[in-house]
Amino acid sequence: MSQYEEPQALNVAPGEPHNNIVSEVVAYVIGLGLALLLTGVSFWVASTTAIWGPGVATGLVVLAIAQMGVHLVFFLHITSGPDNTNNVLALAFGVMIVFLVMVGTIWIMGHMNANMGPTPEMANLMTQRG
């Protein structure tokens, strides 16, 4: 084995099944390190004045997407391999359900004032009575 070749135990792509415990632990530690790094950077971006104000939200969105990618690959083992089709479909279904719940909640909250507030007649009556 030359000096540039990796040991076979560590030569596994993130998200792929590992053939021994050392390789798996190394992958989890790398994922943990990346997750902690992205979390720390997110807190720094949210609290610093070094970044232009409107750019903070964009930076946080980019860091959140990167954090989701780290979790999907290193912890949930979602890859683009043909044997992971069911995992990707389950993830897509879950994202769709969360999106529908979010949109429904926003729609209900947006219309709650019109549906739950006093009618104009009731508001006038309350104003007249003091």
Q: Indicate the DSSP class of residue 73.
A: I
Instruction: Let me know whether 70 and 100 are in one domain.
Output: no
Q: Are residues 63 and 102 in the same domain?
A: no
63 and 99 housed in the same domain: no
pLDDT for the residue 109: 86
For 59-89, the pLDDT digits (tens) are: 999 999 999 989 988 888 887 777 777 878 8
What residues make up the domain containing 127?
Answer: 83-130
Q: Is 54 in the same domain as 89? A: no
Q: What is the rounded CA–CA span in Å between residue 55 and residue 105?
A: 27
Q: What is the distance between the alpha carbons of residues 64 and 17, in angstroms, rounded to a whole number?
A: 26
pLDDT at 2: 53
User: Does 93 share its domain with 68?
Assistant: no
Global confidence as pTM: 0.60
Total of domains in the chain: 2
pLDDT value of position 13: 66
